[in-house]
Structure 1
Amino acid sequence: MYVILTTKPDEFRTIMGDGVVLIESYDYIFYGRKRANFTIAEIVDADRITIVEDEPPHIVNKVPCKMFESFDTVEEARAELNVLTHFGSMDIELRAV
């Protein structure tokens, strides 16, 4: 199963632990400014994904993998990421990292 994980600078970061394999990663550029990073990852053998807030008190959330929308293929995840990150003629770019 594949999922889309998000990290937003100065807000929170998603940590891929054991059993989560990075497939590809993109910076989300909105009107010339990086606003987020999206990672397509494969869940191989993990029960939870860790999300850590950047600001004190650095709250740690361990979210069950079943809470994330999942996709059967990388292509399905890419298509969903494209839908999520584009709107009309706005100046938006997904830049491969």
Structure 2
Amino acid sequence: MYIILTSKPGQYRSEATDGIEPVEVHDYFYGERHVAVFVVAAIRGDAKVKIVDDDSPTTVNLVPTKFFEHFSSVPDALRSIQDLAGHGHTDARVVRRPAAHAQ
């Protein structure tokens, strides 16, 4: 089973914890602006995602993965990322990071 962890630079970031293994990382751009980072991650058991708010003071929450949309495969999760980015916007693009730069 897979989930998508989303982070928005300067706003918040989602971090894997025990039971969550990042598989692929994709950057979402609109024009030249880096809008978000999407991490496709495999989950095992009752894991929780660490959500860190970048505002001051920093807030940290642990959110159970049951509140995230689940995908049966990496390609299913990638289709969802493409839908989030929008197909009709010529300025929107999702770029996969090379494995060496995944995190």
Give TM class, smaller chain. Answer: over 0.9
The alignment partner of 1:69 has SS state of coil
Are the equivalent residues in 1 in contact too, given 2:26–2:37 (CA < 8 A)?
yes
Displacement after TM superposition at 1:36 (Å): 0.7
> CA distance change for structure 1 residues 81 and 12 in 2, over 3 Å: closer, same or farther?
same
Are the equivalent residues in 1 in contact too, given 2:18–2:47 (CA < 8 A)?
no
Displacement after TM superposition at 1:7 (Å): 0.7
Matched AA of 1:33:
R
**RMSD over aligned Cα, in angstroms?**
1.2
2:76 — aligned with what? 76
2:100 — aligned with what? none
Q: Structure 2: any 5+ residue segments left out of the alignment? A: 98-103
How many residues are paired up?
97
Give the alignment's TM-score, normalised by structure 2: 0.88
Matched AA of 2:68:
F
Q: In the aligned structure 2, how far is the partner of 1:66 from the partner of 1:43?
A: 10
Displacement after TM superposition at 1:46 (Å): 4.2
2:93 — aligned with what? 93
Matched AA of 2:63:
V
- Ranges of 4+ aligned residues in structure 1 off by more than 6 Å: none
Are the equivalent residues in 2 in contact too, given 1:13–1:52 (CA < 8 A)?
yes
1:37 — aligned with what? 37
Matched residues, percent identical?
Answer: 36
Q: In the aligned structure 2, how far is the partner of 1:75 from the partner of 1:87?
A: 16
Q: Structure 1: any 5+ residue segments left out of the alignment? A: none
